[in-house]
Amino acid sequence: MGEILTTVTQPMTRVIAFFSVLTLLLTACGPNPSGTAGDGTRVYKISSGDAAEIQFRMLDSVNSLRTTSGLGSVQLNSQLNAAAATHSRDMSVQNRPWHFGSDGSSPIDRTVRTGYTGRFLGENISESYESELVTLGAWMDQPDTRGVIMDPAARDLGFSWYQERGGKIWWTLIMGG
């Protein structure tokens, strides 16, 4: 009987070891445990390689919403992207979501500084741990921020963010025409 037990135990030990290693590997591929904020909120982590994908995902989503409503498409504008990136980082430094820069600049001032020659139409900002698409959904739920996205005069879009070490993301979307 001892021999049968040993023969069954060895393959079973290998199976358990295999599934343990497999579980460890799968866990490593899943969300990072540090992907939560101090209060347990799940954090959307952005890597440096995600930048273009995130901007184009936002552009495609905004254009889908606009064309569904019979409005013209917008295009990404590098100058508006730069103004959005500057403001996202500045909101983090100030630790508050608001439209004025730490130097007292307005959204119009920031777009002019980048050399944008079109007309500034509006700016949406957000402080969040969530993705750009969740943030877009929240903006679309509010009449004032929805109005910026759905402005019929819009032709250009600037979109950027700054993510802090702890995971908080400061989003900025600018529309120009």
* pLDDT tens-digit series, residues 57-107: 999 999 999 999 999 999 999 999 999 999 999 999 888 687 888 788 999
Check: CB of residue 170 under 8 Å from CB of residue 95.
no
- Specify the higher pLDDT residue, 14 or 112: 112
Domain boundaries, the chain: 36-176
- N-to-C CA span, the chain: 84
* Dihedral angle sign, alpha carbons of residues 94, 95, 98, 99: positive
- The pTM (predicted TM-score) of the whole model is 0.76
pLDDT at 4: 39
pLDDT at 162: 95
How far, in Å, CA of 52 to CA of 45, rounded?
Answer: 15
Is residue 131 pLDDT above 50, yes or no?
yes
Indicate the residue type of 16. Answer: I
Is residue 155 pLDDT above 90, yes or no?
yes
pLDDT at 6: 35
pLDDT at 40: 58
How far, in Å, CA of 139 to CA of 104, rounded?
Answer: 25
Encoded tokens for 41: 């909120």
Q: Collect all residues with Cβ–Cβ distance below 8 Å to 124 and sequence separation of at least 6.
A: 139, 145, 148, 149, 171, 172, 173
Average pLDDT, the chain: 81
pLDDT at 38: 55
pLDDT at 56: 94
pLDDT at 14: 47
Q: In the block, which residue shows the tokens 């025409």?
A: 177
* pLDDT tens-digit series, residues 8-30: 344 444 434 443 333 333 333 33
CATH 3.40.33.10 fits 36-176, yes or no: yes
pLDDT at 48: 76
* Dihedral angle sign, alpha carbons of residues 85, 86, 87, 93: positive
- Comparing C-alpha atoms, which of 54, 69, 67 is closest to residue 173? 54
- Rg of the chain on CA atoms, in Å: 23
- Comparing C-alpha atoms, which of 158, 126, 136, 161 is closest to residue 45? 161
pLDDT at 37: 56
